[in-house]
Amino acid sequence: MSVDLSLIERSACDVVELLREEALSPHDLLDTLAAQVARVEPQVNALPTLCFERAHAHADALLKKPVAERGLLCGLPVPIKDLTDVAGVRTTRGSLVYRDRIPATSDAGVRLLEAHGGVVYAKSNTPEFGSGGHTYNSVFGITRNPWDLSRSAGGSSGGAAAALASGTAWVAQGSDLAGSLRTPSAFCGVVGLRPTPGRVSYGPAANPYDTLGIHGPMARNVTDAALLLDAMCGEVESVPLSLGEPARSFLAHARSPRRPARVAFSAGLGIATAEPEILAICRQTMDRLAGAGIGVDESDLDLSAATQAFHTLRGIAYATNYEDVLAQHRDVLNPNVIWNIEFGLQLDNRAMRSAQRTRAELFHKMIALLQRYDVLICPASIVLPFPVEARDIRDAAGQHFDTYIDWLAITYALTLTGMPVIAIPCGMSASGLPVGIQIVGKVRGEAALLSAARAVEEIIGTWATGQPQVR
């Protein structure tokens, strides 16, 4: 067994270089992760299912190949969100319905990651079926924020974000519908990228033409997120919307930071109001960008029409995916999940038509804005990480929310536009909790977005004061 906990602090890109040089092996990384998991997991609960034996076997197979044939990740360990199937590994989707389920085949996205040299060693925690911005479920319980164990890690990729913050992952796969990559990134002080629909393949899916729910990379910095995005890309025959690999890698673009000339800043996209401390930190970030010579303008963008449209389209997705589950297992489902499915089942054609028209209008608004600006920036969450005992947020910054997801409007409004969005940390609250911003790029513009985000990251500099409570 070879354990070197100093590796935990290295970037994913650095670790991959060490793998390519054969200065260490995937087994060294897996042993180090196992030691770190033993140290922090009892407190954090980010990775409730481990599969180290499978991971070591995969590492053995990789090491039989020449280094040049070990893929982009060359043996880098990657945890997979518990919504996503991994062959031979318990995959519960955070639900008692599937608590004993062990799939025989892996999701297409997992197969791509493994083909690119990723080694799966764990499943990250998620709320049931990924529903909501707080990671808890009846199978594994609550995932806690490594910065403050009394606080939420966000959701639904909360396990992935908490693993990154607590040092049990260098990169992590996640997914996003209402903000499930971006909210936990803001809560845990890491990076989460929601790519263009089709950029990252996954499936088989109940509705392979869905463009709301996507998979994407999470990491501790922009460059590492770009590395993982490259390893998640590739056309898959069974995924009709899948896009091909880029001509130039996303990592190369992230390693060539280019400062945006003009930035639009929105305090709430016309749909949300952030807590004063969060907004103050975000405005300080804009001041730093302006001080670095970037033009920053206040935007009057209004995406307030997104709420009804998003609820409708999300409801259709839940009804499509889980109608039979509701009929057979209502007694063990989270009440919020039941509400989601039933809401979708009762929708009429008029609501569906209205939602599609509204989505188109929001898309064209965003196109018009991004013809004048390189990127749009706004807060990644309107609240700081909240106590784990709360199941959701119903009141914040003078607003009352009718549903358990409406505090996520600042992320789900951007989901409807289909633009790529990256969340990066930008500061710390007075109580020592992370704050993040979202940076929105142009249509299919992940390359330019990653380059701009890396430039912003360079300007912001060291944002964290001290280490997480658990690391």
What count of other Cβ atoms lies within 10 Å of the Cβ of residue 205?
A: 16
The catalytic position among 166, 180, 185, 451 is 180
Under 8 Å between Cβ of 97 and 322: no
Fill in the amino acid letter for 89.
V
Distance CA 241, CA 222 (A): 25
Our answer to whether residue 81 is catalytic in this structure is yes
Q: The tokens 């807060």 sit on which residue?
A: 379
The catalytic position among 124, 131, 152, 156 is 156
Our answer to whether residue 131 is catalytic in this structure is no
Our answer to whether residue 138 is catalytic in this structure is no
What count of other Cβ atoms lies within 10 Å of the Cβ of residue 89?
A: 22
CA atoms within 13 A on the CB side of 252: 5
Burial tier of 27 (Cβ tally within 10 Å: 0-12, 13-18, 19+): middle
User: Catalytic site residues?
Assistant: 81, 156, 180
